[in-house]
């Protein structure tokens, strides 16, 4: 089969991956599931994997097939698989978990002590077929196209996971600030609108992204390069500040904004990454302000997100590309030229 593989780390996205012929995976384990990929989302994390940013955090052996936002049709299952059958259309949770370690038994999928992460630690879905397991696959409702929903496997569930944490602290009339209205941010706004009665304020440098934010449910949208964001948030909230901030950018400039616009007891959820947090410890003590990280989400949360999609509450803006154009997609995302999410269709 054909697969897009990383042979060496590089900052040059134009030659990031090569299209190789490799062996098609088979269900050698009793809980294995083989999925014929119909759509695999390209994520900013894929750019970071290409650059080698994950080598200090997870074991990686090159060459590696990337792609962790995967959906398609089941074509083979192991002998003990009972949750799906051949012919079922599924979305794949990003990680394969053991189910028996303590974090798994607590429902904390991302903390599994034996986790395998296709596209990050194991071969992923930028290929014609993917090997995963029965603890990762979620059957799709009949009308849902796997290629349309594939990015929800990471982008969607990550945005949903952050929003779900934020909504626990949001009451009607509170304000939530969303920073970045890109591939994750446009999902986050819709989840906030569906799951809370908070007033949503969006921040993005692009006028088209701010227009999209208003279309998807934001009360206001501002340009952080030209607007005085602390003053705007103060005016909108009668001086109280934003109870929750969801940062889909994670740059130095955006993490620095949190303490300036947060209400007492507010949280700044860091979803995007690549920058740093530079704050004196007193910033966290004064007003009990907190930074909170976000790492994908639970299997059950992906089920919940699929339910929101099926109800029409969350819609992905996607564009599709053949496997041969994968490096062009990597370059375009690196330069901020992808609106919504890019989906590779092997």
Q: Is 341 helix (H, G, I), strand (E, B) or coil?
A: strand
Q: What is the pLDDT of residue 130?
A: 98
What strands, in cross-sheet order, belong to the sheet with 2-6?
18-21, 2-6, 64-65
Q: What is the mean pLDDT of residues 11-38?
A: 96
Burial call 246-276: b when 16+ CB within 10 Å, e when fewer: bbbbbbeebbebbbebbbeebbbbbbbbebe
Q: List every span in the chain annotated with CATH 3.40.50.720.
A: 157-293
Q: Between the CA of residue 190 and those of 95, 157, 194, 243, what are the distances in Å? A: 25, 13, 6, 18
Q: What is the pLDDT of residue 185?
A: 95
Nearest CA to 69 out of 181, 162, 159 is that of 159
pLDDT per position as a tens digit, 230-269? 999 999 999 999 999 999 999 999 999 999 999 999 999 9
Rounded Cα distance, 13 and 326, in Å: 10
Is the predicted pLDDT of residue 154 greater than 90, yes or no?
yes
Q: Between the CA of residue 332 and those of 40, 73, 96, 168, 340, what are the distances in Å? A: 16, 28, 30, 36, 12
pLDDT band at 335 (very low <50, low <70, confident <90, very high): confident
Q: List every span in the chain annotated with CATH 3.90.180.10.
A: 2-153+297-345
Q: What is the pLDDT of residue 317?
A: 86
Q: What is the pLDDT of residue 339?
A: 79
Rounded Cα distance, 148 and 170, in Å: 30
- CATH code of 2-153+297-345, in short, is 3.90.180.10
Is the predicted pLDDT of residue 115 greater than 90, yes or no?
yes
> Which CATH superfamily hosts domain 157-293?
NAD(P)-binding Rossmann-like Domain (3.40.50.720)
pLDDT per position as a tens digit, 301-310? 999 999 999 9
Q: What is the mean pLDDT of residues 85-97?
A: 97
């Amino acid at each position: 089969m054909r697969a897009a593989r990383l042979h060496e780390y590089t900052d040059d996205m134009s030659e990031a991956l090569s299209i190789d012929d490799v062996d098609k995976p088979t269900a050698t384990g009793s809980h294995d599931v083989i999925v014929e990929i119909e759509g695999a989302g390209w994520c900013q994390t894929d750019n970071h994997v290409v650059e080698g940013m994950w080598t200090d955090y997870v074991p990686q052996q090159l060459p590696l097939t990337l792609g962790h936002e995967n959906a398609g049709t089941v074509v083979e299952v192991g002998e003990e698989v009972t949750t799906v059958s051949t012919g079922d259309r599924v979305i794949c949770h990003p990680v394969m978990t053991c189910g028996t370690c303590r974090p798994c038994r607590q429902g904390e999928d991302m903390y599994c002590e034996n986790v395998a992460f296709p596209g990050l630690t194991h071969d992923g879905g930028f290929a014609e077929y993917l090997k995963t397991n029965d603890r990762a696959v979620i059957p799709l409702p009949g009308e849902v196209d796997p290629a349309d929903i594939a990015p929800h496997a990471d982008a969607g569930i990550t945005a949903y996971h952050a929003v779900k944490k934020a909504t626990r602290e949001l009451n009607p009339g509170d304000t939530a600030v969303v920073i970045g209205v890109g591939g994750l941010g446009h999902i986050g706004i819709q989840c906030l609108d569906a799951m809370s009665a908070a007033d949503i304020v969006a921040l993005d440098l692009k006028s088209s992204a701010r227009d999209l934010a208003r279309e998807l449910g934001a009360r206001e949208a501002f340009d952080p390069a030209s607007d005085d964001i602390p003053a705007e948030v103060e005016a909108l909230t009668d001086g109280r500040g934003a109870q929750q901030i969801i940062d889909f950018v994670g740059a130095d400039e955006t993490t620095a904004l949190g303490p300036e616009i947060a209400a007492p007891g507010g949280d700044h959820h860091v979803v995007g990454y690549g920058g740093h947090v530079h704050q004196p410890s007193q910033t966290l003590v004064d007003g009990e302000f907190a930074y909170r990280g976000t790492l994908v989400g639970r299997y059950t949360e992906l089920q919940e997100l699929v339910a929101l999609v099926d109800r029409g509450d969350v819609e992905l803006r996607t564009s599709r590309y053949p496997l041969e154009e994968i490096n062009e997609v990597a370059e375009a995302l690196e330069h901020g030229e992808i609106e919504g999410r890019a989906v590779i269709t092997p």
